[in-house]
Amino acid sequence: MIERIDVGARMSKIVKHNGIAYLCGQVGNPEDDVAEQTRECLRRVEVLLDKAGTSNEKLLQVTIWLADMQDFAEMNAVWDDWVPEGHAPARACGEAKLARTELKVEIIVTAGY
């Protein structure tokens, strides 16, 4: 069975299937620096994880897109504080042109539930 949560015209915020929750990409506030955008992304991820009936202790895979890889260390400082010790997911991080030029980070999460 597939369950879709917060379904819109283009996407669902969450899709649950076979014990896995797939979250849509999350971004922060465009006017903020990369650290604050990362914090906001992760706050939004937490809301979706909670709606999906899971948490950041059940992360399976995370993809992080940065507008500029020079922000890697600053983003990681926030990330490292957010991921519970012993619960680090498989993760990839790359540089990409994001939907708006002011956006510095986008985080895409898959988690068990």
> What pLDDT is recorded for position 8?
97
Q: Position of tokens 């899971």?
A: 54
pLDDT at 12: 98
Query: Under CATH, to which class is 2-112 assigned?
Result: alpha beta
Amino acid at 14: I
Contact indicator for 26, 15 with CB cutoff of 8 Å: no
From the list 58, 35, 36, the residue with the least C-alpha distance to 48 is: 58
Query: Could you tell me where the beta strands, DSSP code E, fall in 1-113?
Result: 2-7, 12-17, 20-23, 26-27, 59-66, 90-95, 105-112
pLDDT at 27 (0 to 100): 98
Determine the pLDDT at residue 109. 98
Residue 73: is it exposed, middle or buried by C-beta count within 10 angstroms (0-12/13-18/19+)?
A: exposed
Tokens of 58: 């059940």
Give pLDDT < 70 ranges for the chain.
none
The string of DSSP letters for 27-38 reads E--TTS-HHHHH
Point out which residues pair with 27 in neighbouring strands: 106
